[in-house]
Amino acid sequence: MTELSATRNLTRRFLSDYGMIVGLLALCVYFSFATISTEYPEGDRAVRQVVDKVLADRRSDEIVIVVGRDDAGGKVFVAETVKALRAGGMIEVEQVVGAPADLKAVIAGVQESGKKVSAIATTRWVSQWVLIEKLDEKFAEIGHVDVVVPESFTQSKFLQMRNIRNVATSNVVIAIIAIGMTLVIITGGIDLSVGSLIAMSAMTAAYCVVEFAGARSAGVGAFVICMFVGIFACALVGLLNGLMVTRFAIPPFVVTLAMMLVARGVAFIIGQGESKYQLPNSIVWLGQGDDLFGIPNTLVLMVLLYAAAHVMMSRTVLGRYIYAVGGNAEAARLSGVPVKRVIMFCYVMCGALAGLGGVIRMSILKSGSPKYGEMAELYIIAAVVVGGTSLSGGKGKIFGTLIGVLIISVIQNGMNLTNVESYTQKVVLGLVILGAVLLDSLRGGRNLKGLARLIGLKASQSRTS
């Protein structure tokens, strides 16, 4: 095989495994452009720009008035700017925090003292005061006064750091559970109970904190244990799912549909229909903290879990077994794969990760509610499928799922930024999921086989001696 075709093969395999990455990038590029708008610097940047401009072309004895509105931002702007100008050598700096009338009074004061106002440094908003816009008319006698404001610039709302952080964290719970769902779907199963498990886990953990750990005054060790109780409860439900699927050969769809109802009901029973709010403040560390270079803790946890899952699926014996079970359970069994244990592991994992998702949600919102995670299972399955994992089992990639989650997040976020109505968002999201799967099926050439199956051209099986 030549070098070239080897490279081409690699490229083809990469695209067939992670083809959705192209779609994700396309979406990012689209929303980057679609959300471009004119902005003005705020905060530190605004101060720096204004100060630089004033210092650049003014002697140190000229009079500068710094104006800001009477709100938190305005006060900070004025204080910082004045400080910076004085530090830069300006001697006579007046400051105004308040309404146009206050500015008028200050200008009049300067005038009376027989001096000349050289410049007014202010923010974009204040510069739109009629008084400032028509300064030359209203104070014709003082001559021309420069108005220094931060310069406008264009930028993409989508690409703002704050927004990117938002995209990355908005679906962190979905992303974490989607790891477990990917395992289950690769074995050829499905787990519909995960949405309800989010609520059950959050309610179980919150209940334990409130009842046994001292509610608002619970210590860190105590509420961490409570969180593990929630996760453990969900892992048990996963175990039950796995047992029903392997020992009693009940279709996974039915088993987990039933557990979905059970777990949701249990979540309501635990709180007697109410949410639990009496949680300690420190419980939000996991959900709201950002201790590692300002990266949200949830994001760090998610990335670690994805990395671990990826290594498990691509490098370990267990990972191979999971793929083999989904690809052909009978062939796997006859090759010595402990099929039932492998399937059980995947359901337990999926349940435990749903439990983890539940306590994360509790930590983010500092409360437990039996309504958490409604419909979450559908978004999770959608993310897995969009990420290229085949519902018929045996094929799928962990990072594909992450891409699937990101695609959904980017679309949701982009539509929010471009003011698409929430009803329309649902339609678009649904169509995107369909489109992604359609694309995958067309690319794999499997649509023909799938079609043949649908119209009933299925091979009958016969075993001969």
Partner 1 sequence: MVSQESNETRRLLEMRGIDKSFAGVHALDDVDLDLEKGQVLALLGENGAGKSTLIKVLGGAHLADAGSISIEGQPARITDPHASQTAGISIIYQEFNLIPALTVRENIFLGRENAKFGFVRKSDEYEHSRRLFQRIGLDMDPNARCEELTVAQQQTVEIAKALSVKARIIVMDEPSAALTGKEVEKLFEIVRDLKSQGIGIIYISHRLEEIFEIADRVMVLRDGKHVATRDIGDIDHDGLVEMMVGRKLENEFPARTPAPGEVRLKVKGLNRGKSVRDVSFSVRAGEIVALTGLVGAGRTETARLIFGADQADCGAIDLDGRRMHINNPRHAIANRICLLTEDRKAQGLVLTHSVRENFALPNLSRFSRLGFVERSVEKARFRRFVDSMRIKIPDDETPAENLSGGNQQKLVLAKWLENDCDVIIFDEPTRGIDVGAKYEIYVLMNELAAHGKAVIMISSELPEVLGMSDRIIVMHEGAVTGEITEVSGATQEQIMHLAIGSKTQ
The reply to whether 37 sits near partner 1 by the rule CB under 8 A is no
Judged by CB, which is closer to partner 1: 320, or 371? 320
Beta-carbon count within 10 A of 76 CB: 15
CB of 14 to partner 1, least distance (A): 12
- Report the candidate in 155, 162, 124, 125 with the shortest Cα–Cα distance to residue 38: 155
* Residue list 327-346, contact with partner 1 (CB under 8 A): 327-328, 330-338
What is the rounded CA–CA span in Å between residue 24 and residue 407? 5
CB of 461 to partner 1, least distance (A): 7
Judged by CB, which is closer to partner 1: 13, or 45? 13
Structure tokens at 249: 């050969």
User: For residue 258, with 0-12 CB atoms within 10 Å meaning exposed, 13-18 middle and 19 or more buried, which class applies?
Assistant: middle
Of 7, 11, 13, 219, which one interacts with partner 1 (CB under 8 A)?
13
The reply to whether 400 sits near partner 1 by the rule CB under 8 A is no
The reply to whether 391 sits near partner 1 by the rule CB under 8 A is no
What is the rounded CA–CA span in Å between residue 205 and residue 135? 63
Judged by CB, which is closer to partner 1: 75, or 320? 320
Judged by CB, which is closer to partner 1: 104, or 320? 320
Judged by CB, which is closer to partner 1: 98, or 327? 327
Residue in this structure with the two tokens 């983010």, named with its chain if needed: 364
The reply to whether 15 sits near partner 1 by the rule CB under 8 A is no
What is the rounded CA–CA span in Å between residue 343 and residue 189? 9
CB of 188 to partner 1, least distance (A): 12
Judged by CB, which is closer to partner 1: 9, or 11? 9
* Residue list 297-326, contact with partner 1 (CB under 8 A): 315-318, 320-321, 323-324
CB of 245 to partner 1, least distance (A): 18
What is the rounded CA–CA span in Å between residue 98 and residue 75? 9
The reply to whether 53 sits near partner 1 by the rule CB under 8 A is no
CB of 395 to partner 1, least distance (A): 6
The reply to whether 249 sits near partner 1 by the rule CB under 8 A is no
CB of 430 to partner 1, least distance (A): 28
**Phi and psi angles of residue 119, each rounded to the nearest 5 degrees, phi first:** -155, 155
What is the rounded CA–CA span in Å between residue 303 and residue 316? 19
CB of 279 to partner 1, least distance (A): 38
**Phi and psi angles of residue 414, each rounded to the nearest 5 degrees, phi first:** -60, -40
CB of 26 to partner 1, least distance (A): 27
User: For residue 439, with 0-12 CB atoms within 10 Å meaning exposed, 13-18 middle and 19 or more buried, which class applies?
Assistant: middle
The reply to whether 398 sits near partner 1 by the rule CB under 8 A is no
Beta-carbon count within 10 A of 170 CB: 17
**Phi and psi angles of residue 67, each rounded to the nearest 5 degrees, phi first:** -120, 135
- Report the candidate in 400, 306, 380 with the shortest Cα–Cα distance to residue 19: 400
- CA distances 176 to 195, 261, 418, Å, are 12, 22, 27
Task: Write the DSSP string, 160-179.
Answer: SHHHHHHHHHHTHHHHHHHH
How many residues touch partner 1 under the rule CB under 8 A: the total is 35
The reply to whether 4 sits near partner 1 by the rule CB under 8 A is no
CB of 304 to partner 1, least distance (A): 18
* Residue list 437-456, contact with partner 1 (CB under 8 A): 455-456
Binding stretches for partner 1 (CB under 8 A):
1, 9, 13, 315-318, 320-321, 323-324, 327-328, 330-338, 394-395, 455-465
